[in-house]
Chain A
């Protein structure tokens, strides 16, 4: 290995239990596995059948998020389960975690929430770690300079039994973003723009490191939004080197190091950056000035335009499904549902952004608007600063935390043909319900669209308040 290393190579090297050979992949040590109800039951079952235990329960952290209702329980404490199987999945993960001594953040935990919101909020996500979860949006944790990726259920079982994962060494892709973002342009617009530019296969087989002045200027919520969607361009993971912003976020969180250990950790974390002269397998440059509020018009996250641009042609299947015409603009399209939430955009900063537009406005008649905080803690913090009042006064729904309408597993879905402006991460056909049409957008664009009932450029509202 050359002396100058990328951030990825440093983390990779630190976690090699066995290096790759011609015949066998590398054995990589995993510092933390996050569990939820959907992709864990068969992994626990596999362990049971083999007579194996969980090697390091202390390196596992579980919650419930995908199948859970986002409406409060009734007076008898009963939740409105979408299906009996959903309830069974949730019951099963509780039983399994209790049996194996794994820390579970259930209904009564102040930290319960979307697994990729909870980990960082608890300070469990730390620079230099390897983190996995049976969920493709695990790349979110890369915002802290952790190597984090989604895995399948078989691999979830591997990590439970061995705390290790087999990996072929990925390639590296550097994405440098320089300059100041314009008014109304957010981290979500940056990552949508990036995916639109490099395509849904542009990151295949790679670990992306995002760097440059635009990334440095982002808070942790923004960096998480960017890393979260790395999978949507095919990348295995996304990374941002830790810096003072990262340290300030982590300091004092329940699972972050404290006292002397904190000082030691900081000294180590400061070494976690790509050395000058280190070489990426591929490099892409983005100018922040080229990015405007971005929206998807089609059926995958690479079908992106700036909100003032026109819909391109040549994708008839996508256009037919979305009922859009090439050459048209999206602004002015009637919107049936607005969803503000998901592991991409459900953090306090996202809710504040949405509230900045919904404050002193009403949601348009006929546009159902759901605001679903990412965790119980986020919900509590939002309520402490009165954001719930803002959403409710505007006529939006203020829900309990969970994955909700991002994938609709818990029954939070729209009706066939409805158009949803959504702050989530996937606009695949039927993702938010059979026949439902999804436009991915930032919390600002979503909130602006909720107010007008049409796809709306959020800069219109910024001018108004200026």
Chain B
């Protein structure tokens, strides 16, 4: 395939160890729906207690439409295993996150929900953090990240996550594509 799966510009949050409490504060966990998760994303960084926007909101200049790839410092997504973290990032509008290191559980939760974590060498992350609003093309089949005016890099991705991302489906779509098999199984096994 020639068309890259994600073609976007980058947005930087040059902070290390961004934990899932920063991505979505714990008091949103008792939510019983998924509405408003875009507002919850990086909530304490964006909003004052009274709901007004913070003067130093680091996402103020973010062009959500054109910057769908987040670049962060290392160890992104550490802390609690909450699945709300990738939900919030996706709802907010990100499709991929680039960092030199992700917390394991966050990576798993992200891929389960269709958010792509792209692990790069520290010097590549450093370049991107020094060059905000870079154009990037991500080809999932080739595990390739191409950065304009800089170079092309390979990143690791397990076969099933690649399978789903390339087809634009998530895990539930994959299961439901086999609905006939499920029906047949139920029939033949007396379920």
Contact = CB atoms under 8 A, between A and B. Distances in A.
Interface of A: 14, 17-18, 22-25, 27, 29, 31, 41-42, 45-46, 49-50, 55, 59, 83, 85-86, 88-89, 92, 152-155, 157-158, 161-164, 166
Given A31-B191, A154-B113, A164-B182, A89 B32 contact: yes
Contacts of B87: 42
A170 B34 CA distance: 32
B171 A166 contact: yes
B32 A92 contact: yes
Given A23-B163, A29-B185, A152-B109, A162 B32 contact: no
Interface string B161-191: 0110000000110111011011001100101
A107 B141 CA distance: 52
A153 B83 CA distance: 7
Contacts, number: 87
A162 B87 CA distance: 21
Nearest to A20: B160
B32 A158 contact: no
Contacts of B162: 23
Contacts of B174: 24, 166
Q: Is the interface of A mostly helix, strand, loop or mixed?
A: helix
Nearest to A152: B83
5 contacts: A29-B182, A42-B84, A45-B32, A162-B179, A162-B182
B181 to A, nearest CB: 5
Contacts of B34: 42, 45-46, 49
Interface of B: 30-34, 81, 83-84, 87, 109, 112-113, 159-160, 162-163, 171-172, 174-176, 178-179, 181-182, 185-186, 189, 191
Chain A CB within 10 Å, residue with most, of B84, B181, B182:
B182
A92 B32 CA distance: 7
Given A29-B189, A153-B83, A158-B172, A17 B182 contact: yes
Contacts of A23: 159-160, 162-163
A154 B189 contact: no
Nearest to A164: B175
Give the top 10 A-B pairs by smallest Cβ distance, nearest first: A85-B30, A41-B32, A92-B32, A23-B159, A17-B185, A162-B175, A45-B33, A23-B163, A45-B34, A158-B172
B123 to A, nearest CB: 31
A348 to B, nearest CB: 32
A367 to B, nearest CB: 31
A153 B171 CA distance: 13
Contacts of B32: 41-42, 45, 88-89, 92
Nearest to A14: B189
B181 A17 contact: yes
A27 B181 CA distance: 10
Given A42-B34, A46-B172, 7 more contacts: A29-B182, A29-B189, A42-B31, A88-B30, A152-B112, A154-B172, A158-B175
A29 B191 CA distance: 10
A158 B177 CA distance: 12
A212 to B, nearest CB: 32
Contacts of B171: 154, 158, 166
A52 to B, nearest CB: 8
A417 B5 CA distance: 53
Contacts of B160: 23-25, 166
A162 B176 contact: yes
A419 to B, nearest CB: 25
Nearest to B87: A42
B111 to A, nearest CB: 11
B33 A42 contact: yes
B30 A89 contact: yes
B181 A154 contact: no
